[in-house]
Amino acid sequence: MLNKIEQLLDEVRTLTASNAQELEALRIKYLSKKGCISDLMNDFRNVPSEQKRELGMRINALKQEATEHINALRAKLATKEDTETVYDLTRTPYPAEIGTRHPLTIVRNRIIDIFSRMGFTLADGPEVEDDWHVYGSMNFADDHPARDMQDTFYVQGAPSMLLRSHTSSVQSRVMETTQPPIRVICPGRVYRNEAVSARAHCFFHQVEGLYVDEQVSFTDLKQVLLTFARELFGTETQIRLRPSYFPFTEPSAEMDVSCQICHGEGCSLCKGTGWLEILGCGMVHPRVLELNGIDSEKYKGFAFGMGIERIANLLYRVKDLRLFSENDVRFLDEFKAAY
């Protein structure tokens, strides 16, 4: 048995392998449960007691050397494969999946582009705001329902701080730091304490506009909104303005556009009316101008605001608002050709 151990030891020391398959074959031959060394262990039971100590040590040394030698061959093969790998740096990465702009971003950019061509510039402000810029400067009474916890997210430990419920706070910041003429649009995310459903969400996106100058009239507002509607929905689009109420405008109105599906004849989308509401607007309340440091005797202004999700719904027929914030790739892939 000693001669057999010596013979296997000589074989192990000369083992070579040129690939992983040959190496695996060697491992099976020498180290597997049915390999040569395991056969020695089976024969070891028949060895006389006085020889067990020496032969046991020899077999263990053989197994250890075989394991180390095969591991060394494996490491050598891995290094060889790495050095022989050739990368084609000129190869194109396609076909590869490409991303797309979010539908809300697409609509937001379209709205910004239309008003930019009418001379409006972008204005931005913080999403975590103080009560004055969100409500006080916009002529909201102290007991106005919008201030209630049911509608507004207040910051814990700072009762005068809140998540803005509209981007009118940006208009306030512009007016208090800039003298007319002012012509800005204020896109941004806003927050309201509402139950999440297919028709409502606790956060959404708005674009508000403000124009303040001398001799500004309601006719100017109507013409700007008509131009916007026809740029966005098509040249045949009609608009109508219905009387409404907002604390920061007087007079105030809701604006509807003619239904793009039935062209005014009535369908399920417009609920048979032929019209679709898209935004609120009006002449800036003189008190709002005064609260923000602008002479209401000299200057007039108009303002308007719309939900980007609402416009996206009309353009793309998205029935569930939650799809805009769930990051479902299948939904987003539908807008690859939309920009």
Interval 80-92: pLDDT, tens: 666 656 667 777 7
Point out the least confidently predicted range of 10-14, 48-52, 255-259: 48-52
DSSP helix/strand/coil, 42: helix
In this predicted structure, the answer to whether residue 265 has a pLDDT above a threshold of 80 is: no
Task: Give the long-range contacts of residues 18-22, CB within 8 A, separation 24 or more.
Answer: 19/77, 20/77
d(CA 136, CA 190): 17
Point out the least confidently predicted range of 39-48, 107-116, 274-283, 298-307: 39-48
Helices (H) and strands (E) in the chain, counts: 11, 10
The arithmetic mean of pLDDT across residues 313-339, rounded, is: 82
Interval 208-248: pLDDT, tens: 999 999 999 999 999 999 999 999 999 989 999 999 999 99
Pick from 126, 143, 100, 119: nearest CA to 212: 119
Pairing mode of beta strands 158-163, 239-246: unpaired
Point out the least confidently predicted range of 27-31, 124-128, 131-135, 248-252: 27-31
DSSP helix/strand/coil, 204: strand
The arithmetic mean of pLDDT across residues 39-60, rounded, is: 75
The alpha-helical segments, DSSP class H, found in 85-182 are: 103-116, 131-134, 168-177
Point out the least confidently predicted range of 70-79, 80-89, 174-183: 80-89
The residues near 119 (Cβ < 8 Å, ≥ 6 apart) are 183
DSSP helix/strand/coil, 245: strand
With residues binned 3-state (H G I as helix, E B as strand, rest as coil), the percentages for the chain, rounded to 5, are 45, 20, 35
Burial of 210 from C-beta contacts in 10 A (0-12 / 13-18 / 19+): buried
The residues near 171 (Cβ < 8 Å, ≥ 6 apart) are 123, 184, 186, 208, 210, 303
In terms of pTM, does the model score above 0.75? no
Which tops the pLDDT comparison, 121 or 198? 121
DSSP helix/strand/coil, 186: strand
DSSP letter at 140 equals: -
d(CA 237, CA 232): 9
